Amino acid sequence: MDISLSKSSDVPLRQQLAEQIVFLITTGKLRVGQQLPSVRALARRTDVHHNTVSDAYQDLVRRKWLTRRRGSRLVVGVRAGKQAPSGLDEIINESIQRAKDMGFSLRALTERVRERLLAEPPDHVLVVEEEAGLCEIICREVAEAIGCSVEFCSPERFSREPSLAIGSQVFAPHFALEELRSLIPGSRPGVPITYSGVTQHVELIRKLKTPSMVAAVSVSSSMLKTARSLFAPAIGRKHSFQSISITQKQRIDLRSVDLVFCDSVSIESVDCKRKIHYRLVDPKCLENLAMAITAGRRA
């Protein structure tokens, strides 16, 4: 500890000593939690009476530059009125510096932080799906059913960035979960997506008594492709069918169509005579997801 006192100065020795310690703290030479020399040790080092050191220490304790720990040890404290870290970067910087001061390597810090973060309860759902359109629909239905924050990414990106598992409850098709199993925390396994059936929707088409125009509207190309195939037996030669792909903010007039099936994203954008909401994710599956999130937060 670099301290130099002058006995010939008009400034009292106690004040010189106290302010030089404050200077060492504010310039980072002494850090929060670092232990100070004992009163007698510092008195010998600076060649002053131990009462002078004791008075300086007491003044710094009163001003909250120093604090007492078990065994009457004095350590650098957090001064009253000192601003707390105002942003995430400042919190991270302080944590890194404290880890270094305590002798931990950056690798050890990285591994421990990742372990702790992976053990934290989920604060959002992460939908892992290849097609962006399907992701939009699933995210909308999850948000509406569970009311939590939802993000999405492709399986490829998840494989490249395993840190995406931090703080997330993974929600993905069965095959994707199998491929990504090693990247998902064992304490918080992913929930498989189960899609809704179409039986009731097919029956609506079969009940049409006169030749009709039927349409499916979606932001997902794969959903439209599947709908065309599943509705084909009911459409037959009696009815005509249209697959209409739209963007999330696009409005479309289908009042000339008799029956329109819409996904959870496009349904608000379609004007028509008879509109049927097709929910992509099975309600029971969403219940399972909600239970997984609740269980993760209780763990």
Q: What is the pLDDT of residues 264-281, one digit of tens each?
A: 999 999 999 999 999 999
Q: What is the pLDDT of residue 277?
A: 96
Handedness of CA 235, 236, 240, 245 (dihedral sign): positive
User: Is the Cα dihedral 172, 178, 183, 188 positive or negative?
Assistant: positive
Sheet containing 168-172: which strands, arranged edge to edge?
150-153, 124-128, 168-172, 191-192
| Residue (of 44, 51, 41, 40) closest to 14 by Cα position | 51
Structure tokens at 222: 């794969």
pLDDT at 63: 87
CA dist 3 and 1 (Å) reads: 6
Cα-based distances in Å from 39 to 23, 43, 54, 233, 267: 19, 6, 6, 92, 76
Q: Which residues of the chain have pLDDT under 70?
A: 70-72, 78-86, 296, 298-299
Considering only CA atoms, which of 140, 166, 167 is closest in space to residue 262?
A: 140
pLDDT tens digit string along 134-149?
A: 999 999 999 999 988 9
Determine the pLDDT at residue 68: 86
**With left for phi above 0 and alpha for psi between -120 and 50, is residue 26 left, alpha or beta?**
alpha
Alpha carbon distance 279, 170 (integer Å): 20
The pLDDT of residue 246 is 93
Residue 80: its pLDDT value, please? 42
The domain limits of the chain are: 13-76, 88-118, 122-195+286-298, 199-278
| Arch. (CATH architecture) of 13-76 | Orthogonal Bundle (1.10)
pLDDT at 249: 81
Entry pTM: 0.67
Phi, psi angles (nearest 5°) of residue 183: -95, -10
CB 154 within 8 A of CB 128: yes
